[in-house]
Amino acid sequence: MKTHRTAMALIAVMMLTSATPVFAAMPEDTTIDRVGDWFATIGKSEQDKARVLSQRHNRRASKRFDHRRWQRSAQATHHKPSHPGR
């Protein structure tokens, strides 16, 4: 259990001290995403793993799509509207 806490603390520190802006390039799957996916699927059956990974991937893809749509609207109007997540 202590190893699990240590791993979670390490991931939290890495996320908080990341020099990359949150929505910079938004690659398909970052290292943090893959680690989170791994933690989310520990101890699950293959069918549950596939379902969880699909849900997480779709949620990330939706956020990327929303952010890119927001970027295009900001470029078209030549100003930065408030971000949809805020």
Segment 56-74, tens digit of pLDDT: 999 888 888 787 777 777 7
The domains of the chain are located at: 2-77
DSSP 19: -
How many whole angstroms separate alpha carbon 44 and alpha carbon 72?
A: 39
Phi, psi of 52 (to 5 degrees): -65, -45
pLDDT for residue 86 is more than 70: no
How many whole angstroms separate alpha carbon 78 and alpha carbon 13?
A: 36
For the stretch 1-57, pLDDT in tens is: 677 888 888 787 777 666 555 555 556 778 888 899 999 999 999 999 999 999 999
- Rounded to whole angstroms, what are the CA distances from 48 to 32, 38, 42, 64? 21, 13, 10, 24
Q: What is the pLDDT of residue 68?
A: 74
Q: What is the pLDDT of residue 25?
A: 54
Q: What is the pLDDT of residue 50?
A: 95
pTM of the full predicted structure? 0.51
Where do the DSSP E strands lie in 1-86? none
